Structures are given as structure tokens and as C-alpha cells.
Amino acid sequence: MARDYLSEYKSKLRTAEEAAALVQSEWVVNYGAFNIKSPAFDKALGARAGEPGLERVYVKTSNNLPPTPAVIANDPEQKTFQVGCWFLSALDRYWYDQMLLDFLPLNYHDTNLMSYWPDKTVAGRKGDLLAVQVGPMDKHGNFNFGIMSSDVKAKAYANRLVVVEVNENIPNVLGGLQNTLHISEIDYIIEGENPPLFCVDPTPPNENERKIAEQIMTHIHDGCCLQLGIGPLPNSIGDLICQSDLKDLGLHAEMFCTSMMNMHELGMVNNIKKETDKFKSVFSFALGSAELYEFIDNNPLLATYYIEYVNMPWRIAQNENVISVNNTLQVDLLTQANSESIGPKTISGAGGQLDWVNGAFDSKGGKSFLAFESTYVDKDGTLKSRIVPSLDLGTTVTVPRHTIHWVVTEYGMANLKGLSTWERVEEMVRLAHPKFRDELIKEAGKMGIWKKVNRKPL
């Protein structure tokens, strides 16, 4: 006898206020990241700020997109809610600066592992309630995560209660693994206002970013498997690929972006050379234009997976010729890369960067690139170098020197694997803006990592 999913759906329907009323003091509430945060649940829970007897509710989030979570905006004195975030968006950075948001450091693939195993969470604590947006229920009783598989399924099993808000605008993205929840795995359902998904249009690269992208392009050939990070520079790589005659490319990436859609539509991507998920482009979340969300809807050429599957370095390395491109903020003369903080002040997070540095290097023929402009202009209008003698006190080391592979600036690129400390200094000085090279050499001498006789022509 066929199961009556519609009746079961109706029995689990609740208003957002009814669902938010379940939350009690000292509960851990998990929100979905990016576009799958439940806006109706958040609004209802935030309305409880200051409620007598409700306190020390810990809300865990990531990559918040507008609007600001109500649990932050409605509780500026943090009498009811404390909010933690493991990767800061531009919106999150503002609230972090106001000390209304805590940072949770981790590697991206660890989010799945920490959800599954209680001994890998703080004090063995999992969570009490998960609230996420999902697509409409299909005829088999499944709700699709659409643009964000990541760690949602794992969190559903790590929390005592699961609340979903149905949004008809979420595309149905095929799997893959762990990209849906069945109605039997859900406790309560909210029918919200179906808000449109937040869109991010690609930012055009500047002249330096284009120079960097052109250098990286010389290492990309037919049959490469690509991962491109967030930001103008990785997007510029995608744009240059679209202008090339490359073919038989593969995609295995944590994020599916607009330039990847363009590669598909131009026939450059067919995934025929991949060892895993042959003929499928694999990703864990999508962020981009409205056209991108339309493209990934029910597209059989794509597959979305949970983040442990996508980002575990050993799985990345199963494909040959993996090319990974990510931004970084600073690299010091010891070749430690900081991609997430200014001194002790966090501005983003590690994300999956170290996962991809290790996974791409272990891939046969693979290369990971950390790319950055050699300089920036501070708030006072002063030109500053992103290549520094040593990282400031409190600065995060995102990629340790023993794992870093290729680094690229507008002045060149260098493979740092296997180089001594002396050779690394020479390469970093060569990649620096000419204005700062002599000072870097001087500081390297003070640090005992420079020999003048070893100097290469710059």
C-alpha cells in the first residue's frame, strides 16, 4: 500500500512561531549556511529575544546572506542568544566587529565529521534543533537541499529536532549523496513566504588579477579537473577558460559558480577524464547568478554531495591533474599563508582551502595555486605589501609552509615545494612589488634566512 505522504506532510505542518517556541534555554540551534538559512524560523526565534526565562541559546551559522539573522539584530545585548559562525561573509564580518558573533575555526570537510561523531564535538555536545530551507516535497516524500548539501544531512542526524522551511524557489539538484531529507527524517515543516534566493554576480577582475589568471592558465590543459574558489580572481580564471579552446575538462569543487555554468554551456566540460563521478560535475554548494540557479535545476550533468565526500583530500587526489585556485591575504618570508585574518581579527575562515592545497598536490599531475595581488592600499591611502617578513602577532596560519605548493602574484609564480628557507625567501622577494623588495631582503637578513651570495636576479 502506498504511503500517504501528503497526510504525513500536513500532520507535521507548523507555523514558524510554533516551531521557534520549541527552543529552550541552553539549546544549540543549527542554521543552514548561505541561501538555506530558514528566514521564517529565524524571524520567529529572534522575536523571542529578551523573553523571560529564555537564555544562553547558542545559534550556529555560516556565510550569512542578507537579511541579518534576527537572533543577532533583535538581541544586541546578547541576553538570549549567542551566535557562532565558522566562515564569515561580508555581513558576518560587520557583526563580528560589533562582538555579536563568535568564530568557529575548522576545515570545511570537518563539519560533516563533527556532526556524525559526538566524541568529535565540544564536550560530546551535538545539537538540539536544525532549521533549514529546502525545496518542495517530491512524490516520494523527499525534500531537496538544492544549492547547499554540505553537512545538512549529517546535522539532521546530529540534532534532536529537524525543522524545514519549504521554499519553492530552491532548485532541485540531483545527487550525489546526502542531498535530501525524507519526510520520515523531519519533525516539523514550515511553509514560509518563498523568498527569492540571494544572487551574486561575478565581479570583473582588475588588471593585476587578470595578469595572475593568465599565468595560472599556462598550467591548465585539456583533461584537467578544476576547483575554483570564491572571488574575482578565481572567477577570472573561469572567464579565461571560456575564451580558450580547452576541452575535456572536469569539475570537482566545493562551490559551483557562474563561470562553471558557462564552461558547461560552451561544451568545455564533460568530465570524461575523471576517475570519480565520471561524466558528472561534482559540488557541495552553489552560489552565483539567478541563471546559475536555473541551470542547476534538475540538470543530469551535475551531482551534489555532502562536503566530506567533496573535500576530503584523499578523495580529491583520486582524480588526476587537479587544478585548485584559491585566494590568500598574506604570505610571509617563511612561506606561511594567511587567508582568513588581519592579525587576530577574523575576516573569513579557513573554509576548504587547506583541503584543496593538500588534495590537489597529492593528485597525479595536480597543482594547487594560492593567488594574490602583491600589494593593497590601506584606509589611509598607503601602499602596503602582502608579502611580509613575518605574520603579525595573532595572525592565523591557514596554509602551513610545509604544505604550500604554488604561489602567484602579478609579478610571477613559484613552486615552493622542496625549496629550502633560503630559496623560499628569494622566490617571495621576486614575487613582491619592487618597492618592497630591498626592505624584505633587509628583514630576511635580520631573521637569519637570507644569504646575499644566494640572491637570484630579480
Q: Which residues are catalytic?
A: 254
Residue type (1 letter), 443: E
Report the C-alpha gap between 93 and 218 in whole angstroms.
Answer: 35
For 437, residues 6+ apart whose C-beta sits below 8 A from its C-beta are 429, 458
Nearest-5° angle of CA 366, CA 369, CA 374?
160
**DSSP secondary structure letters along 133-177:** EEPPB-TTSEEE-TTB-BTHHHHHHHEEEEEEEE-TTS----BSS
Angle between helices 232-242 and 258-265 (to 10 degrees): 10
What is the dihedral sign for C-alpha 47, 51, 92, 384?
A: positive
- In terms of Cβ atoms closer than 10 Å to its own Cβ (0-12, 13-18, 19+), residue 221 is middle
- Among candidate residues 51, 92, 36, the one with its CA nearest the CA of residue 346: 92
In 3D, which of 108, 103, 109, 50 has the Cα closest to residue 81?
Answer: 50
